[in-house]
Structures are given as structure tokens and as C-alpha cells.
Chains A and B, each alone.
With several copies, the nearest count.
Chain A
Amino acid sequence: MDRKMDRKEIFLLTKPLHSQRTDLCLRLLERSMNAVLYLAGDGVYNLLESSNLKFPSGVMVWACQEDLLARGIQSVEGANVPEDFYRRLVEDMASDDSYIYVF
């Protein structure tokens, strides 16, 4: 393992729960020591309160507001819904010790 412990791993997920990309994303997320998860597009369906998706604990989750609204997803426990989703994503990516994985 040549990964540094202090690196930040950013996961951008745009697929819903039953997609194999979501499955791959979650399996990589579980291996991460310092992860942040961004949900955009159909990725926000993973936040349905009754969805059986479990994110690893300690993972900060951000969701895109306009994508939630369009899809009729009202309450999103355990996720942050910022006004400036894409600005945050880009700022997170901007740090030198971050890595981005897109699904």
C-alpha cells in the first residue's frame, strides 16, 4: 500500500442504489480512511430515508439541492445540502492531497 494516510479521497456518485457503479463506489469508500462523498444527479436517490443504503460511518456526505428537488426527495438524514454544491466539490478537489473517484 503506497497510499498516504493523510490523503483525502473524494467520491462523486451519480448513480442510484442498484447500479453496479454505486456498488463499486461503496466498496472503494469502505477502504478509504478519509473520504467525502458527493451525491449528484441520480446519485441523490441513495438518500431516500428508507433506502437500505448504508454509508460507512464517518463519511461526510454532500448532496446537490437541485437534484433532490427535481426528484421529489424531501428529507435527507445524514447528508448536507449546501447552496453551493459544485463550488464545494471543486474546492475539495483543489487541495493537493486529494484524489477524486467518479461513479
Chain B
Amino acid sequence: MRSVFYLLDVAPYGSEKAYGVLNAAAVSIKMDVTLGLYADGAYLALAGQDSKSLAMPNLSDIIYAYPEVRLLAHEPSLIERGLMSQSLVERVELADEDIFMEQILAADCFIIL
């Protein structure tokens, strides 16, 4: 494999999935690695996360720590959740349905955790 597309489709913090997929993407940077935010995974794009009082790691800090991971958000998912009018993590690239789906198919492997 030279490229991998990880997909997150559940909300961050409520489950360990977002943390898990970020860690998996972070260790995969010797390949071309994309993390796609899809459906409730799109909530990970919200700016201003501060998880100290939950005693959990700050997931947006992990995003900034690994600039090698391409972060792609599915625009229709953002729109459905009212996220387009919110401040988003700057590193997040928006992708329309077409681009998002073609990026999934273009990667050597596709992983939904």
C-alpha cells in the first residue's frame, strides 16, 4: 500500500473511534494518508475544542500535530449538521460529494474504524 484513506463516521468524544482513527492516521504518515470526515465524523472539524474538563485528549491538537495527514471533510455532511457557518479547524479541506467519493476510490486501501 502506498496510500490509505481512513474514514471517520461517528462523532468525536462520545466514542473512542475518533481518537483511534487519528492515532492510526498519525502512524501511517510514511504512506499518503487521508482522513475523511463523513456523517457525524464531520463534527471533528469544529474549532475551539477544549477537552480538559472531560479528562480526554484534545483531538484537534492531534490534528495540528500531524500536518502530513490530509484532512478531508465531506461537505454535504457539514451542511446537514449546520457546520458550514461555524468556525472550523483550519487544516480541514472541504470536499464535495464527487471529490470525496473519488478520493476514497483513488486510495490503495480504505479503512472505516
Contact A41 B13 (CB under 8 A): yes
Q: Does A2 contact B (CB under 8 A)?
A: yes
Q: Name B's A-contacting residues (CB within 8 A).
A: 9, 11-14, 38-40, 43, 46-54, 56, 60, 80-87, 97, 101-102, 104-106, 108-110, 112
Residue total for A at the interface (Cβ-Cβ under 8 A): 39
Q: Shortest Cβ distance from B17 into chain A, in angstroms?
A: 11
Q: A16-B43, A48-B86, A70-B13 are in contact. List 8 more A-B contacts (CB 8 A).
A: A2-B106, A20-B39, A45-B40, A48-B82, A50-B84, A71-B49, A74-B48, A103-B112
Q: Does A1 contact B (CB under 8 A)?
A: yes
A40 to B102, CA, bound (A): 25
Q: Mark A16-57, 1 if CB is under 8 A from B, else 0.
A: 111111001001100110000000011001001111100000
Contact B110 A101 (CB under 8 A): yes
Residue on B nearest A7 in the bound complex, by CB: B105
- Give the chain B neighbours of A100 by CB distance below 8 A: 109-110
Contact B43 A45 (CB under 8 A): yes
Contact A72 B49 (CB under 8 A): yes
Residue of A2, A24, A100 with highest tally of chain B CB at under 10 A: A24
Contact A70 B51 (CB under 8 A): yes
A to B CB contacts below 8 Å, 7 in the list = A28-B101, A50-B85, A69-B51, A70-B13, A71-B43, A101-B110, A102-B112
